Chains A and B, each alone.
Chain A
Amino acid sequence: MSAPLVVLQDLTIRAPGRLLVEGVEVVVEPGRVTALVGPSGSGKSLTARALMGVLDVAPGLERGSLRYPALDPSKDWYDGVRGGGPRAQARLLEATRALRGAYLSYSPQAASSALNPGRTVGQQVALAVGRRASPPASLGAEVTRLLRAVGLDPRTAAALPGELSGGQCQRAALAIAVAPAPRLVIADEPETGLDPVLRRAVTELLVEVVQSHGAGLLLISHHHDTVSRIAGAVVRLRPPAGAPEEL
């Protein structure tokens, strides 16, 4: 059995005067879909960012460990960061930078506002392909292949994000997420802003594309039907004691 892609244990992050997440445990296995679910304010996106080494709250990381066993089983990336505040977190951000967009990639929530409005979709996919350890023989052909894989017309490569629909933007964000051939894809609520039919199509496409690349998927969602349909493991988050729970 191959090593897990990521193991996050006892994640506890504090903002001034309150806990944001407490004791969160996440393990993502290769070729498997793990869902991270919970109500708004339970820290799903924060946990996903922490898992990528992006911590930007003060005082920040209080407890926890982060390992990428498929890379190095012994290394705890949070060593020296726990209780170290913003400066230690900035060091972690820099130390994990090479992993982001290569070992793991991220498909953001509300893709239309996270895509670069000043660059064409093709340019953005090409930039992500450029993060692979070994570049493809033909960059143009690879961009076309990726766009086709997510169900976009290759002519979309010449379009700016503002010229696409919400569903097309989400597909473009997915193409960007898988373009570096990562071992782990983190998809942050990929269904946001989509109608029920498109929601189902996009999530199924997400699983299909990620698994065809042999990668693991951490899916952040609050749609129970989506999670129960595609997830092999579910991590449930609850707002920490004292935090307001939104409906």
Chain B
Amino acid sequence: MSGAGRRFSRWPSGLLAAAGFGALLVFAAFAPEFLPDPDPSRAWQGPGEMPPFGADDRGRSLWVYATQGASILAWPALLAGFVVALLAVFGGVVRATGAARLDGWVQGMGEVVGALPRMVVVLVVALIVPADSRSLYPLAVTWALLAAPGAMDEAAAVAERLGGSRFVEALRAHGYSAARIFLLHIVGYNLRPVVVRQAAEVSMQVVFLELALSYLALAGDRPSLTHADSVMSWAGLLSQGYTWLVIDMESGHALALGLGLIALVTGASLAVSHAARAR
């Protein structure tokens, strides 16, 4: 690929990622605080009769599901990505500095944390959080901390491939300051693809975690572990849409919207990783 081709290959995926995450945040910003009143006469109306996405089994707009669902998970997912990115950068920089004792301690902690069963720990945290403070934030941060050792390991491996102190030494001999060497040359130019990909993956995992927990709660007719009962998760779309598959209810549009939103998050996450890899 030519140099010009490489330079511009970042833009389509970068724009796609920005559009995806932008849409998620816009949805979250427009989320109403409460569900609208039911209107049984409009039950299962399609997008043509009730724009933009149609209605649910009680005649409530699916737009509310999309926006409230986004408000539940957008910021916790981004926070989880940020936590993982920060810890991955830490792991990479520690390896690049050649601080053997700290690196050993970080690796040891990583092995202990990495060995914990992630889903079990998340469920324990979910049950510890008082019912009236239910939120995705503690679960997202827990998930991020449990996912961090893998990200730190990968970032450290990249830093090691740089040649460790020899690479730093060469840059220092060129007159670059320590801040510029570590922040720009090591983190910015070399760790960036790994850090961004890991952060995007963990953000996406938090979205799936919320969907899974909320779907289980809906299926078991129990209160959600991730949000108050006054708001609807995207899992509600999947739960309603599922009836179209099994008993031929007219809820196909709900399933399409739920899957479309999942595709939006997945696409945005993949696009972020691709944009970070491009030069």
Contact = CB atoms under 8 A, between A and B. Distances in A.
Nearest to A128: B174
A201 interface: no
Interface in B40-85: none
Contacts of B192: 118
B265 to A, nearest CB: 28
Contacts of B169: 49, 54, 108, 114
A180 to B, nearest CB: 8
B39 to A, nearest CB: 57
A158 interface: yes
A18 interface: no
B3 A122 contact: yes
A117 B161 CA distance: 9
Given A113-B163, A122-B3, A158-B6, A102 B189 contact: no
A106 B166 contact: no
A100 B190 contact: no
A131 B169 CA distance: 18
Contact of B176 (A101, A117, A120): A101
Contacts of A122: 3
A119 B172 CA distance: 17
A99 B2 contact: no
Interface residues of B, number: 23
A106 B170 contact: yes
B3 A114 contact: no
Contact of A120 (B3, B161, B173, B193): B3
Chain A contact patch, size range: 20 to 34
A119 B162 CA distance: 12
Nearest to A188: B173
A98 B189 contact: no
Contact of B166 (A113, A118, A119): A113
A115 B193 CA distance: 18
A172 to B, nearest CB: 12
A109 B170 CA distance: 9
Contacts of B3: 120, 122, 157-158
A12 B253 CA distance: 79
A106 B173 contact: yes
Q: 5 nearest interchain CB pairs?
A: A158-B3, A101-B175, A100-B175, A106-B173, A114-B170
12 contacts: A49-B169, A93-B172, A97-B175, A99-B175, A108-B166, A108-B173, A114-B170, A115-B170, A116-B162, A119-B279, A131-B175, A158-B2
Given A113-B167, A118-B193, A119-B189, 17 more contacts: A49-B169, A52-B173, A93-B172, A97-B177, A101-B175, A101-B176, A105-B173, A108-B170, A110-B163, A113-B162, A114-B167, A116-B171, A118-B192, A131-B175, A157-B3, A158-B6, A186-B173
